[in-house]
Structures are given as structure tokens and as C-alpha cells.
Structure 1
Amino acid sequence: MGESRTELIQWLNDLLQVNYTKVEQCGTGGAYCQILDSIFGDIPMARVKMNAKHEYEFIGNFKILQNAFRSHKIDKPIPVEKLVKCKMQDNLEFLQWMKRYWDANFGGQGYDAVARRKGAPTDTPVTIAPLAPTARGGSAGGLHAGGGRAGGKTPISGHRSGSAQPNEAVQTLQAQVRELSGHLEGLEKERDFYFSKLRDIEILVQQQVEALEAEGKDDPLLRDIQKILYSTEDGFEVPDGAAAPEDEEETF
């Protein structure tokens, strides 16, 4: 049996000098990167986003972790798609494995976690931040981006002067608007991130198909990939003026 959640969080906070309260926070990937850095001291911590709040940032952290696993010949698979969802059970199992690996490989050397990340903030949310403040107060609310601002210090239902209540309601709504704006920006960045990768794949496939056609050859696998890239679903319409893939002219 591995350590309990409480024991793991206490160990993690002591090692990394952070203030995590839930195992789910490890789903951002930053803590996993720094655990490995405490062993080997060669993780590019300047590139690790310890206060990541969006899934595309989590994925960036896990790419750094995957590179480190390859570099140190660690053959443990990293279930990135599960971990970035910040679910407790998936991250608990992976954190337990990381703790066992650390116990077996940490050399006992001193480790200054704050200096290694150059004092970068670590206010990581438990999950991707909710759109509205939590119904209950407490430390968990502060783990969400904007949670403290949205919740306010005094409940609106408390006995306050009439002029203060509308003002606090406005502040709450403004916080939710900022929250929504932050989510929208994150979703747009994530969309562009994946679109650029698909576009690169499309270009590479097209170049290879054209090269084979010039030699009088064909590759059914590449054709299948193109079908997937260019397929549409019911209700999806190609925007007016958009060129068909075969009519596009690439400029390099």
C-alpha cells in the first residue's frame, strides 16, 4: 500500500516548498517535474509553469516531464490524458509511484526548491477554474483562479447596509466576467495550439503524397490520413471562400 493522500501532500509541500492541499493539483504537471528535478537537478524549471491554470499549459509541463523520463531512461508510461483532467485517483496513483521512485533514487543532497524555480509563483488551482465562486468558503476556494475575488470576504446574505450589498454583487459579477474572459483566452490558445499541429501534419502528408505521385507511386495510409484530416461532420459547413485542400497553394 502506498502513502495516504495526507502523507503525500505533506511530503510534497516539504520537498517543494509549496502549499498544495489536494492531490488533484499535481495534474498541472509542475510538481511532478520538480520532484524529478530534486533527484537529478537537470529539469529546465524555467520552462515549467508551476502556476499553470489551463490544460494546454498542463500538457506543456508533461512534455517536459516526458523528455526527462526519456533522458533518464525511465520506462514508466505517463498517462497524460488522464492526469491533466486533475482527477484525484489518477494523480494519487501517479504521485505514489513518483514517491516510490524518489525514495529509491534521491541521494539525500540538499535541494532548494524555491531557488530552482527562481521564486516562480505556485498558486496552482485544484482544477481548471470554475466559472462561479464556490458555495462554501474555506481554503479550497483560494485554490481556484479568481476564487478569492469572486467569493468576497463577507456573504451577501449577511447583515450589511443596503448600499453595500449591490456593490458586492457587482464585484462578484465583475469577477465572474474576468473569469470567463480568462477561460475564453485559454480555450483560444489551446485551439490554436492543436490546430497548428494538425496543420503541420497536413502539410507533411501532402508533401509526401506529391513526392510519391511524382514517382508514380501511392501510399494508402497517407490517403487515409488525408481523409481523416479533411472529413467533416453533420452540421459543419466549410466557411465561404475557403479553398479546398487540393486547391490551396502553400508558400514557404
Structure 2
Amino acid sequence: MTDLKTTVTLTSATVEKMSRHDMLEWVNSTVHGQYKKIEELCSGVAYCQMMELLFPNTVGLKKIKCNAKLEHEFLHNLKLFQAAFIKLNFDKSVPIDRLIKGKFQDNFEFLQWFKKFFDTHSAGKENLKVPAALAAATHNAPKPIRKPGAQPLTGAGASSKTATTKSSDILKTPKSGQQHDERIVSPSSLRVLQETQEELNKQTLSIELERNTYYKKLTEIEAILHESIKNEVYVDWCNRALAILYAVDDNAAPGDEEEGAEGYAAVTADL
């Protein structure tokens, strides 16, 4: 495998002197992003985009969860990012378990390393930036979900709705002066809903505990594999095992069907 210690200039004075604001400006300029904090890079989106920019077809932009908000979505993206290093035969372990926590120091230190890596491998490639049109498509934030029954307070939609309301739909005002609400839930129905919610909460907690248990085991296996590679013991076998660990199920993310046939078998084939 390629030793990144020799390919990345670790003594780069330029990167070491860059502040957090300088680093964010560089990231936003490169990917046309809107990141305001270093911690937001824990989503892995920017890293995947820049890796694809340096080495086309190593990540697959359609596989990136561009609106990642939850930890398991961050994990998905960072696994794609790690898989790219394996596919390129670079000996680099991404500290996924630390990055996804969204802590400033961990993310800033890794960003400093990646800036050096990016500068080293973008040498001779002028003005490397994610195309603006593609960046705009990958930064569309999901629209907020309106609660059932909620109505807009102002605007043409509100006035139009008011104008077209039938007289038969208008609720009569009770003598107390308070508007009557027909959506009253009976005590028995409320108890059933509460019991159902409690049961679902218990199931969710059980699933999360089981997930965390298996995740811990996998991270321990991952550490052993990297240690074995470092000591040059069963390197080929360990790389193949890591490729399986970092493989992403194409069926888990919408819009990945076109690349499903390619999958991550290509990772092991290139090792």
C-alpha cells in the first residue's frame, strides 16, 4: 500500500498557519458549501466530494447522503470516504468513530491533515472545485415538515383558503366563547396511544443497544485489522476484510440503482 507519510507533506507551514476560518473558507470555496462550523464537517459530505474531485469514480456522488443530519448518515458517508482510500491503495485509517461525534478538535485536526493530502494530490491540477450546478443540487436542505392540521398564518394561500371555506364547514362558537375542537381524543384511546408509544420507545432502545454492541465489536475488529496491516501481517487478507467492512449497501440509499451493479466488489478486485 502507498504510505501516506511519504506522499503528504506533514510539515506544510501554510496549512499549519491556517485558522479555522481560513479552513472553512477553503472547504466552502472548493465544494460551494455553506459550512459555518468545523464540527459540521462530521457529516462526511465535503470529504466525499473533495475525494471524488481528486480521484473521480472512487466515491460515487450519487451514493453520498448529502442532507445527512443523523449519526448513522454521517457513518454512511465516512465509510464511503474510507473505502476510497482502500480502493486507491492508500494506507490511511479515517478516525470515523471520533469524527461522527462532531467534536471541534477531532474534526479540525483531521481537516488539517486532509488539506495537506488535498494539496499534495492536486498539484498540477488547476482550480479544482466541485461544479457549481452539482454543488447546488447536493446542498438542498430538506423542507421542514408541517404538523398535521397546521395552516399558514399569512400569504395568498391563507386568504384563498379562507375565501373558499364552505359555510357548512365553519364550527359554531360555544357559549363559553372558546372555539370547539372536534379532534378530542377519548381517555381510553389516549391510554392506548400512550401504551403503544411506551412499547415503541422500549423497542427503539433495545435496537439502539444492540446496534451499539455490534458497532463496538466491528470497531475492535477494524483496529485489529489496521494493526495487522501496520505490522505487515496478512496484509492482503486484512485489506479484503476492510473492504467488506466499509462496503455500502446500494439498496439502502435511494437513487443508487444505477451504480448498484458496480458495488464495492471493485474495491477488493483492485487490491
Q: Which has the higher contact order (CA 8 A, sep 6+)?
A: 2
Give the TM-score normalised by the residue count of structure 2. Answer: 0.45
Give the TM-score normalised by the residue count of structure 1. Answer: 0.48
The structure having more radius of gyration, on CA atoms, is 2
